[in-house]
Amino acid sequence: MTTAEKLPVSIPSADQAPDAPSNQPVYSYFQGQFVPLAEAKISIMTHGFAYGTGVFEGIRGYWSESDQQLYFFRLQEHYERLHQSSKILLMPMTLGVEELIALNIELARRSNIRQDCYVRPCTYKSSEVIGVRLHNLQHDTSIIIQAFGNYIDIDRALHVGVSSWRRVDDNAVPARAKITGAYINSAFAKTEAMQNGFDEAIMLTHEGHVSEGSAENFFMVRDGKLITPPVTDNLLEGVTRVTVIELAERVLGLDVVERSIDRTEMYSASEIFLTGTGAQIAPVGEVDHRQIGDGKIGPISRKLQLLYFDVVRGKVAQYKHWLTPTY
């Protein structure tokens, strides 16, 4: 196999994907080719690097020891969202969703990934020019993969604080697109929270409503109902968010309400948790030094955690259609 090799756009059958040697490097999809990650380089003149004009996705793969299988979770939805984000930044993608799914699977096979992992596809302005704009620029798509554990500690209840940094408004930086440059907003909030002794930040809209964490959607339990902000409160339309809503309603029989949430409502919640591809389901035990419930992982949070991990590892037949096997 040459260093750079064109990728197929259809998923090979399992018998076409023999085990790779253990010393095989991790590969990336870059500039239309399959190359070792160490060789995937861009120029410092690249517009996406200089101005943050790119969009990305975060996708998890979960290794099932019992099935000896790597399952990718909701690939269709993630790559559909990448298309939507790209459209907002005037980057119509030439690779279709099914082609991207095929590349994702091939990348994992070529890299011989057999543990929990994280995939980051990115479409970015690839022109090497100076000038702030979105139009009349070339764009390209890359995909990287790496082994990945927990993004934040989900085995205990987190301590979070409301950030002094407000969540970007959709009319300033589109919130429903995962724009690379927009994550400076999240970085400010996350660093402020951690330097103030918290695990994570809660960001408010300019109207003072709860929006999301630095990179997670927000849920709370009050009066037996599961409540989450509406997508119009400047939050990312999370894939894990809609997953949790469906599991809560259809499996646990909970009432789920989407409405604006005031800051002090959090202090009266019986449970709070954050969700996201990276965070998965992360329970919260304190907000602004105020204890939530008994300060530990709440019963609904725990049930959803256990159910979620059964789903993503292929243990729930009802939701196996959300999984794409690799081998």
Distance of CA 166 to the CA centre of its chain: 21
DSSP letter at 274 equals: E
Q: Which of 84, 52, 55, 69 is nearest to 14 (CA)?
A: 69
Distance of CA 264 to the CA centre of its chain: 27
178 is catalytic: yes
Residue position matching structure tokens 């994570």: 200
Three-class SS state of 325: strand
Which pair of tokens denotes residue 146?
Answer: 């790496």
Distance of CA 206 to the CA centre of its chain: 24
Which pair of tokens denotes residue 49?
Answer: 């690097």
Cross-strand bridge partners of residue 275: 217, 281
Marked catalytic residue, from 41, 125, 178, 320? 178
Alpha-carbon gap, residue 251 to 256, rounded angstroms: 12
Three-class SS state of 49: helix
Angle formed at CA 273 by CA 270 and CA 278, multiple of 5 degrees: 175
Report, as residue numbers or ranges, the catalytic residues: 178
